[in-house]
Structure 1
């Protein structure tokens, strides 16, 4: 429309001033509306974007991210090594040493098929079987076989390349601290990773990752 008005001004020289005034009025009115519209749109977009950002940030900060439950896979290497060693002792005619070693290997082999370490969001718990049934009270110190990570004072995974024992000390059972030893009949790498993640590094000599 503006170009039409400019073309008309060329054909009517006597009315150039009036046409020019009309064009300037049209321009200021047109661009003023556009600027006002764009400004309001920008304000709405910024406001909307800001609200979305605030909502997203508050949602992330306000909501606790739940950790998944980790169950390390069973590892039969330790009991198999013991049984193999017992077989070697029998071959060497050393029955006196072969019997206890063989019995220990057999016991650990059975335990590997049934005992599970359960690392949930807040605690380590020992459960039994594929259905993850309760393991009852601790045979040595009493109380449930479940210990909160927050009570762990120290822990070790000995010989990480071929883990034999996992040790930890917690203050849940008694204030001065209770020590626990378990044979590593689970995947050592999975056990190490989840212990570091949930329990933090050892206070004395946390095992080096193999």
Structure 2
């Protein structure tokens, strides 16, 4: 009986102290957290803050997934094969056949490739496709693997030369961890290609292969 009365007395004293501290403002509220009721308030506030933080994170992730970048396919550009075929014709004219034949064959090959090969920049990767229907190009004949590389795997890239682009170079770590270098003749619209590379892969590092 005496123990019960002592407990009731302590509880009543705690309530009186809490009432005085609540009147005291924010400092009193912080002190009140040492009481059972204060802990309950603190837990509720903590839960509310965490819930809002989780809700904002989920909303941000969902928004990023919903906002997808438009697929970009640079237009074909026939300047390089035309220049090569013109050079080959000039060499034939001066009867320099050893030089004219390989240059002419290269020009014909690039002319054919310009009509069918496309660079496709989708929401997450650069992919080489073929034909008007943009069909898959299969495995890379030189290094193996699919001709599709995620932008996140790019180490650096370069376009030679901006005014009359001849080659596009890039290095990626998707094919192999130490990095794989790729070269492609620029048989696409150079400005469209450059703009797409900057937007999707980041700015050029001006650090071509050594």
Residue 69 of structure 2 corresponds to residue 63 of structure 1: no
Q: What's 1:160 paired with?
A: 162
Residue 101 of structure 2 corresponds to residue 82 of structure 1: no
Query: Structure 2: 5+ residue runs without aligned partners?
Result: 1-57
TM-score, structure 1 as length reference: 0.68
Checking the alignment, whether the CA contact within 8 Å between 2:156 and 2:207 is kept in structure 1 is no
Alpha-carbon distance between aligned partners in 2 of 1:76 and 1:194, rounded to the nearest angstrom: 19
Alpha-carbon distance between aligned partners in 1 of 2:169 and 2:130, rounded to the nearest angstrom: 20
TM-score, structure 2 as length reference: 0.68
Checking the alignment, whether the CA contact within 8 Å between 2:158 and 2:205 is kept in structure 1 is no
Deviation at 1:203?
3.1
Count, aligned residues: 149
Q: What's 1:131 paired with?
A: 133
Q: 1:60–1:75: structure 2 CA closer, same or farther, 3 Å change rule?
A: same
Query: Structure 1: 5+ residue runs without aligned partners?
Result: 1-57
Checking the alignment, whether the CA contact within 8 Å between 1:122 and 1:148 is kept in structure 2 is yes
Alpha-carbon distance between aligned partners in 2 of 1:186 and 1:196, rounded to the nearest angstrom: 15
Moved over 6 A (4+): 58-61
Q: Secondary structure at the match of 1:63?
A: helix
Q: What's 2:175 paired with?
A: 173
Alpha-carbon distance between aligned partners in 2 of 1:78 and 1:118, rounded to the nearest angstrom: 20
Q: Secondary structure at the match of 1:194?
A: helix
Alpha-carbon distance between aligned partners in 1 of 2:61 and 2:179, rounded to the nearest angstrom: 34
Q: What's 1:97 paired with?
A: 99
Alpha-carbon distance between aligned partners in 2 of 1:150 and 1:202, rounded to the nearest angstrom: 14
**Rg (Cα) greater in structure:** 1
